């Protein structure tokens, strides 16, 4: 479980990114965070892997306050909390499979994996995750040869290969056309559910949120203004 207790975040320039957030997110929930640009969506989800650090409150992941974590615990946290980005963040000149295997790097941290020599079972895991998102036939193609939708699927396969507990997806479909966006959201939801992962996805569009979320959290000016199941979202938000 992820629990925000009176979490606030003030950026160094004095801007308040989060204001007294209180939330409990259960294991296996597929949560969509909505709000206008600047509402604090990125700040909220990036707190969970400590890409940003709240300045007040407690943020518990399985009962541990991650705000107190130091280097070694942060490395472990970042293997347990995987991330998907709007811009895919693939290494363009590397093969699709190599990009997917980058999901294993944080786990072993051994010289072998740093050299790109992965155990056979890890390679099989990577291949099977490519299969789950339907692009196994692209395994040996350079990442930059793929379409946007395919690249985002590679990044989904990469995060699955990391075998995290939690996935954070920051505007994962904002660079994709509507039909591709729907396919990618459908895949992301399906694999999250298959692996019983807790997933938080930031989205601009409420209609897409309603289609895929178990629960929608609405943010405005760093505050939670809505939190509930999808059938209770009204035009007020």
Judged by the rule CB under 6 A, the positions of this chain that interact with ligand ADP are: 11, 13, 15, 17, 35, 37-43, 86
Q: Which is nearer to ligand ADP, 113 or 155 (CB)?
A: 155
Q: How far apart are CA 41 and CA 193, in angstroms?
A: 22
Q: How far is the CB of 222 from ligand ADP (least distance, A)?
A: 7
Q: How far apart are CA 140 and CA 127, in angstroms?
A: 11
Q: How far apart are CA 20 and CA 39, in angstroms?
A: 14
Tokens of 194: 């298959």
Tokens of 48: 């969970």
Helices and strands in the chain, H and E counts: 9, 10
Q: By the 8 A CB rule, do 160 and 132 touch?
A: yes
Q: Which is nearer to ligand ADP, 129 or 152 (CB)?
A: 152
Q: How far apart are CA 194 and CA 206, in angstroms?
A: 24
Q: Which is nearer to ligand ADP, 11 or 131 (CB)?
A: 11
Q: How far is the CB of 206 from ligand ADP (least distance, A)?
A: 14
Residue 225: Cβ within 10 Å count: 14
Q: By the 8 A CB rule, do 130 and 96 touch?
A: yes
Q: Which is nearer to ligand ADP, 125 or 216 (CB)?
A: 216
Q: How far is the CB of 37 from ligand ADP (least distance, A)?
A: 4
Q: Which is nearer to ligand ADP, 83 or 125 (CB)?
A: 83
Q: Which is nearer to ligand ADP, 15 or 193 (CB)?
A: 15
Q: How far is the CB of 124 from ligand ADP (least distance, A)?
A: 34
Q: How far is the CB of 31 from ligand ADP (least distance, A)?
A: 15
Q: How far apart are CA 57 and CA 62, in angstroms?
A: 16
Q: How far is the CB of 169 from ligand ADP (least distance, A)?
A: 12
Q: By the 8 A CB rule, do 218 and 232 touch?
A: no
Q: How far apart are CA 208 and CA 173, in angstroms?
A: 10
């Amino acid at each position: 479980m992820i629990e925000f207790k009176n979490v606030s975040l003030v950026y160094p320039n004095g801007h308040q990114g989060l204001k007294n957030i209180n939330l409990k997110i259960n294991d296996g929930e597929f949560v969509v965070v909505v709000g206008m640009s600047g509402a604090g969506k990125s700040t909220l989800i990036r707190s969970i892997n400590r890409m940003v650090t709240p300045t007040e409150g407690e943020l518990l992941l399985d009962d541990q306050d991650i705000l107190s974590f130091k280097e070694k615990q942060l490395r472990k946290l970042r293997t347990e909390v995987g991330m998907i980005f709007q811009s895919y963040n693939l290494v363009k000149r590397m093969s699709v499979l190599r990009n997917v295997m980058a999901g294993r790097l944080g786990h072993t941290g051994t010289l072998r994996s740093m050299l790109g020599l992965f155990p056979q079972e890890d390679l099989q895991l990577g291949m099977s995750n490519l299969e789950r998102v339907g692009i196994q036939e692209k395994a040996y193609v350079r990442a930059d040869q793929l379409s946007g939708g395919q690249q985002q699927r590679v990044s989904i396969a990469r995060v699955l290969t990391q075998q995290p507990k939690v996935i954070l997806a920051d505007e994962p479909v904002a660079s994709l056309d509507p039909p591709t966006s729907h396919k990618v959201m459908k895949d992301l939801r399906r694999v999250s559910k298959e692996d019983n992962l807790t997933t938080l996805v930031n989205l601009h569009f409420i209609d897409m949120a309603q289609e895929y979320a178990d629960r929608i959290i609405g943010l405005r000016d760093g505050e939670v203004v809505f939190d509930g199941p999808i059938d209770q979202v009204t035009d007020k938000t």
